[in-house]
Structure 1
Amino acid sequence: MSLTLPRRNSYDPGVDAVRWPDVASLPPGGYRAKAARALFAHVARRMELQILLPDGTNIGAGGPDTPVLRLVRPAALHRRLGNGGLIGFGEAYLAGDWTADDLTTVLTVFCRRMATLVPPSLQRLRDVAVHRHPHTERGTAENARRNISRHYDLSNDLFALFLDETLTYSAALFGPGDGSDAAAATTTWDDLADAQRRKIDRLLDAAGVRAGSSVLEIGTGWGELALRAAARGATVRSITLSEEQRTLALQRVAAAGLGDRVSIELCDYRAAQGQYDAVVSVEMIEAVGYDFWPEYFATLHRLVTPGGRIGLQAITMPHDRMLASRYTYTWIHKYVFPGGLIPSVESVESSAAQAGLTVTARHGFGRHYAETLRLWRDRFAARATEVEALGFDATFRRMWEFYLCYSEAGFRAEYLDVNQFVLTREEG
């Protein structure tokens, strides 16, 4: 493989340099690129993949029946890896420096090796080598609305193109509700809306939501949970930081004739007032951030009545990986979800306990999230022309594809899980 690197100004992947500056150009080469080349070769020799150079040479450990990763511009990939690590790896995909015949399967192989990608002898240099979260993206009350807006206010029409009719943007629960892998293995698009309703109903049941309940929802989404809770006869206050989501959710509430039971407000969780029989929150904790978990759980304790229940759905990761990566700035942070951190089961339990809450039940269904994401990415790919018509360019579409495939891979590799927790506050 040649070590000749393209001149910075000669590199042109055909990407809008104003919108995607770090994709359109290359970082400097030098010793970092050479070190990244050596490290990538070391990793490749341990991966059950075909990793093909432009001349067809396979530097991976996989045979002819294993997934294929194709290096289009190896030297460019090395520069990006040397400067940005896994951020650079993702940017290289956006630029077309590498591609894959089946992106999800390739990324699943990487996810299975996530804890051992970097040799132990180099892992002690992690604190020096990795990027740290920008101060402007920490989950403070001042930053949180901007963080949320960057993702959830992209366009309601964009999300509607790949979500089902419930507009639910979290893990669905397929089958009879027991979380079985068999139920998730035979899913189709036609199953998705019912699976989303099943997930919501299970969480509402676990939180004890019934006719007459007062409910606080933290993180409105596009309103489906609030609608289903109100249809049970509950009174729901839902809070969000997304103006786009709030606008559409209010329209849906009005169309359902439930405006007397549901209010939706722009409000940070820290500013919420009152006490409620049940507090529910679906996949919002991931945006809170490690440093703010104590305040988040203390807020839950303050908002639920003594003897009340909290229904919390959260993506989770292994505890050791959470501790190792809690301050790391990742590709997902830079391009998809600024700020935040996926918790571990242990961190949820310990943070809850420190706030005076007890986890009384937990239900995991990670395989179901993998299937949910598969359906979303298939739908997104099928409607690429409509996505383009909304003004999202080819690099955005490639970025979104990488995001969905990378997320799905995490669940298929069982590096990620999703859990519904029930938390209680003691009487008195």
Structure 2
Amino acid sequence: MSGEGARRGNMLLEAGQRFGAMPGLFARLFAPGFHKMLDRLDSGLVSGEILAQLPDGSQRRLGGRAPGFSAEVAITDWRALLRLATGGSAGWYQAWEAGEWSSPDPVPLFALFMANGESLGELGRAKGPWRLASRMLHWLNRNTRVQAERNIHAHYDLGNDFYAAWLDPTMSYSSAYHFDGDLEAAQRRKWQRLADRLGTPGTLLEIGCGWGALASHFAARGAQVTAISLSDEQLDWARAHHPGVDFRKQDYRDVAGQFDGVVSVEMVEALGREYWPDYFDCLARNLRPGGRAAIQFIALREELFDGYARNADFIQAYVFPGGLLIRTSEFRRLAEERGLAWQDQEDFGLDYAETLKAWRARFDSAVAEGRLPAGFDRRFQGLWRFYLMYCEGGFRGGGITVSQVTLVKR
């Protein structure tokens, strides 16, 4: 990344800007309908409440019929509601970036929307031509062999210096486990829980190895570890910091071997639904009979999945191109069809909420202390902070969870 200077992060910003954008003229044309939209939002809030300051100076309390999350929002331009109505969560981010709405703490707002996801229905999702455009752009980002590497580059190759500024010293970029305030210790507990699931494999494949700390943990326990990634930056770091592991730049679809165990942490969300069968084919093909796989994945609540999958949300537009959260029932079916027994699923979504909160505090400190590398301007910093808050709210609202499961090859 050393030669890109002020351009760092622009790939995500420019790609996302194509989702949900609209001119201000529409806001003036549709202004009479904004209070009707607020009426629909009010009726869809089964729990929790929003205290909204509106552009005309009035205040309105939405919801409040049952206990839940409480959020404050100041809407300074009616265009914010139009962006939400037409562009969904990507449009809502664009409105925030444009200063059309603000909140002293957006996390409860995101949690409130997630907690009421079923009753709100399509209110916060892209519609009409914006939905079609976002789906087309998301389709163009699907994880073919060529595009998968581009998608990984857009996010993970922002630079090792960028991630090192706010991740914990292990460079773990996935949910901690049994978070108790010590982020590094909770990340190490996650490694141990995965190790408990696998026992003592002589040979181990890690699919999506990140910066290499988990692979190194298993190598220190005596395993012969092969670890794969498509990120040049991550592989450079891993090879420099974790000797004793065979780190390879390789697509999971190209792995052919026999391993006692497989470990994969929050890699599957990058695949896209059409490639889930390929992933389980990889597991089944590369595990010896009786071998075990320990998988950590992020899943959306079953009742919300169909509506989510029909759209491209803020995360897909701006942060993880080509990605899709997991539908656990479908994931389990694909595994079992390939002779992989699904065992001991454990969900710990609130640990992810706390992990994201800790990352945001560390990121804010890096910005305030000038430790963020050069080239990440205020616009990118705002995008990243919004991303961390948006995800934290999703986990706190209960619509998203993170899980570990053990798969055993029959």
TM bucket by the smaller chain?
Answer: 0.7 to 0.9
How much does 1:86 deviate? 2.2
Tell me which of the two structures has the higher relative contact order, counting C-alpha pairs closer than 8 angstroms and 6 or more residues apart.
2
Deviations 1:27-50 (A, max 9, x none): 253488458735531244245011
Whether contact under 8 Å (1:223, 1:249) holds in the other structure is yes
Deviations 1:337-376 (A, max 9, x none): 0012111221221111122211022111111111111101
How much does 1:83 deviate? 3.9
Match of 1:245 in 2: 234
After superposing the two structures, state which structure 1 stretch, 346-355 or 275-284, moved more. Answer: 346-355
Q: Does 1:110 align with 2:107?
A: no
How much does 1:90 deviate? 1.3
Match of 2:279 in 1: 296
Whether contact under 8 Å (2:207, 2:228) holds in the other structure is yes
Which of 68, 76, 79 is 1:72 aligned to? Answer: 76
Match of 1:40 in 2: 37
Whether contact under 8 Å (2:198, 2:294) holds in the other structure is yes
How much does 1:126 deviate? 6.1
Which of 246, 255, 258 is 1:263 aligned to? Answer: 246
TM-score (norm 1): 0.83
Whether contact under 8 Å (1:133, 1:329) holds in the other structure is no
Whether contact under 8 Å (2:72, 2:103) holds in the other structure is yes
Match of 1:208 in 2: 199
How much does 1:208 deviate? 2.1
How much does 1:25 deviate? 7.5
Match of 1:140 in 2: 144
Whether contact under 8 Å (1:45, 1:59) holds in the other structure is no
Partner Cα separation in structure 1 for residue 56 and residue 184 of structure 2: 46
Match of 1:87 in 2: 90
What's the secondary structure of 2:165's corresponding residue? helix
How much does 1:282 deviate? 0.1
Match of 1:160 in 2: 164
TM-score (norm 2): 0.87
Partner Cα separation in structure 1 for residue 40 and residue 385 of structure 2: 24
What's the secondary structure of 1:164's corresponding residue? coil
Whether contact under 8 Å (2:345, 2:406) holds in the other structure is yes
Partner Cα separation in structure 2 for residue 111 and residue 264 of structure 1: 38
Cα separation, partners in 2 of 1:222 and 1:82, compared to 1, 3 Å: same
Deviations 1:84-113 (A, max 9, x none): 222111111122211111111221111111
Cα separation, partners in 2 of 1:39 and 1:29, compared to 1, 3 Å: farther
Match of 2:50 in 1: 49
Cα separation, partners in 2 of 1:23 and 1:391, compared to 1, 3 Å: farther
Partner Cα separation in structure 1 for residue 373 and residue 19 of structure 2: 22
Equivalent residue runs for 1:239-388 within 5 Å: 239-254=228-243, 259=244, 262-385=245-368, 386=370
How much does 1:66 deviate? 3.9
Counterpart residue identity of residue 41, structure 1:
L
Whether contact under 8 Å (2:165, 2:372) holds in the other structure is no
Whether contact under 8 Å (2:161, 2:373) holds in the other structure is no
Aligned residues: 385
Match of 1:10 in 2: none
Match of 1:27 in 2: 23
Partner Cα separation in structure 2 for residue 36 and residue 382 of structure 1: 42
Partner Cα separation in structure 2 for residue 362 and residue 407 of structure 1: 22
Partner Cα separation in structure 2 for residue 36 and residue 422 of structure 1: 50
Cα separation, partners in 2 of 1:113 and 1:380, compared to 1, 3 Å: same
Whether contact under 8 Å (1:207, 1:278) holds in the other structure is yes
Whether contact under 8 Å (1:77, 1:92) holds in the other structure is yes
- Provide the aligned C-alpha RMSD in A: 2.7
How much does 1:237 deviate? 0.3
Which of 209, 212, 220 is 1:220 aligned to? Answer: 209
After superposing the two structures, state which structure 1 stretch, 416-425 or 107-116, moved more. Answer: 107-116
Partner Cα separation in structure 2 for residue 313 and residue 24 of structure 1: 31
Match of 2:187 in 1: 196
Structure 2 segments unaligned to the other structure (5+ residues) = 1-9
How much does 1:127 deviate? 7.8
Partner Cα separation in structure 2 for residue 93 and residue 23 of structure 1: 14
Partner Cα separation in structure 2 for residue 66 and residue 309 of structure 1: 44
After superposing the two structures, state which structure 1 stretch, 326-335 or 372-381, moved more. Answer: 326-335
Cα separation, partners in 2 of 1:323 and 1:354, compared to 1, 3 Å: farther
Cα separation, partners in 2 of 1:36 and 1:218, compared to 1, 3 Å: farther
Partner Cα separation in structure 2 for residue 24 and residue 144 of structure 1: 23
Match of 2:377 in 1: 393
Cα separation, partners in 2 of 1:39 and 1:245, compared to 1, 3 Å: farther
How much does 1:60 deviate? 3.0
